[in-house]
Amino acid sequence: MNDEFIGVVTADTILQTLRDEHTEDILKYAGVNVTASERFSQFTIWQHLTSRLPWLVIGLGGGILAAWVVEKYSYAMESELALAAFIPAIVYIADSVGSQTQMVFVRSLATELRTSIVKRLGKELVIATFVGGILSVLIGIISWLWLGKATITLILATSVLLTVYFSVIVALILPWAFERVGKDPALASGPLATVIRDVSSLAIYFFVALQVL
């Protein structure tokens, strides 16, 4: 302010700050509430519990909600029990696609020039079209060669495509919304996003199955 030289920030301080922030982001991705100034390795047992347990409880609630969805629409599998065998695949695809998209987007929020959420969403949906299309074709071919049933092939292919689209939308909107309200976008990449993807992927799967069957 007064054109006075008051000191410098050394390179090791800058690197330490970057390291602390990066560590904080990684821990938040795993659902661990720790600030960059805290040393996780020096936490007491109580601090470990309070920083890790809340998101795990939310995850448990999501698991129970997913179980409710399966139970509520279990009659959709009565005529095609083979549909149950593909539930892990549907959930895995939702989590994998969502995690990839969300990780890239959250990092871009911190390191790159900002772009319109609409433009970013449009770009990611184009990518999702190719990714979802390829995965849909692959799972359709596998299910047809394995079971030889057109209905199951149609259900799986359609569910995978819709799940990929929805996972991409959640992966972008959730961290964007967190940032808009002043929260760390990394928080949106942890168990909360996983719960949303798992429950929504099951809901999409059973909805498609009911429409086809």
User: What pLDDT does residue 76 have?
Assistant: 65
Q: How far is CA 113 from the centre of its chain?
A: 23
Asked if the 68-212 domain carries CATH number 1.10.357.20, the reply is yes
Per-residue pLDDT of the chain (213 residues; tens, 9 = 90+): 566 767 666 666 666 666 666 565 555 555 555 554 455 556 667 666 666 677 677 777 777 877 787 777 776 666 667 777 788 888 888 888 887 787 777 776 665 556 677 787 888 888 888 888 899 899 888 888 888 888 888 888 899 999 999 888 888 888 787 777 776 666 656 677 788 888 888 888 888 888 887
CB neighbour list of residue 159: distance below 8 Å, 6 or more residues apart = 90, 201, 204, 205, 208, 209
pLDDT at position 36, please?
Answer: 47
Q: Where are the domains of the chain?
A: 68-212
Measure the CA–CA gap between 160 and 148, rounded to whole angstroms.
18
* Cβ atoms of 44 and 116 closer than 8 Å: no
CA distance 28 to 43: 16
Q: What is the pLDDT of residue 17?
A: 62
Contact 150, 77 (CB under 8 A): no
Does residue 62 contact residue 199 with C-beta atoms inside 8 Å? Answer: yes
CA separation for the pair 40, 27 (Å, rounded): 9
46, two tokens = 């109580």
